[in-house]
Each structure stands twice: as structure tokens, then as C-alpha cells.
Amino acid sequence: MENLAFSLAYALPALGAALGAGMIGMGAMSAAGRNPEKIKELQSLMILAIAFVDALAIIGIVVALISRG
């Protein structure tokens, strides 16, 4: 049962981060399609936003490891 709790403690934040990164990419590609001359600005903003979202997954694994402790 403890292994299931550990798996869920990381799987759920990782799933949320993956969905968030996908939504960020979808929004950036949609914006680039409407305004192609701003693609460099969109790319840097997209990379920054995905880095913040991935930080949530990293926090999730740290919390999971600490709670397993």
C-alpha cells in the first residue's frame, strides 16, 4: 500500500505537469500561427512557462520522497 501511495504522490503531479506543458505548447503554436513575426518572443516565453510547470513535477517527486522517508 505504501508503494501505491508513493506512486500516486509522484504520478499525479507529473501528469499535471505533462498536461500543462502540452497546453502551453498548444497555446504557443496557436499564437505563432496568428502572429508569425513574434515567434522568437513566443518561443522564449513558452520555454520559461514550461520550466515553471516542470518545477511543479520536481516538487512533487521531492514531496513524495520526503513523505516516504
Nearest-10 Cα torsion for 17, 22, 26, 27: 0
- Give pLDDT, residue 63: 87
Neighbours of 13 (CB within 10 A): 19
- Give pLDDT, residue 33: 94
Share of the chain above pLDDT 70, in %: 99
Sequence-distant (6+) residues with CB within 8 A of 45 are 28
Per-residue model confidence as pLDDT tens digits over 28-52: 999 999 999 999 999 999 999 999 9
pTM beyond 0.75, yes or no: yes
- Give pLDDT, residue 68: 79
Q: Tell me the domains of the chain and their CATH numbers.
A: 2-68 (1.20.20.10)
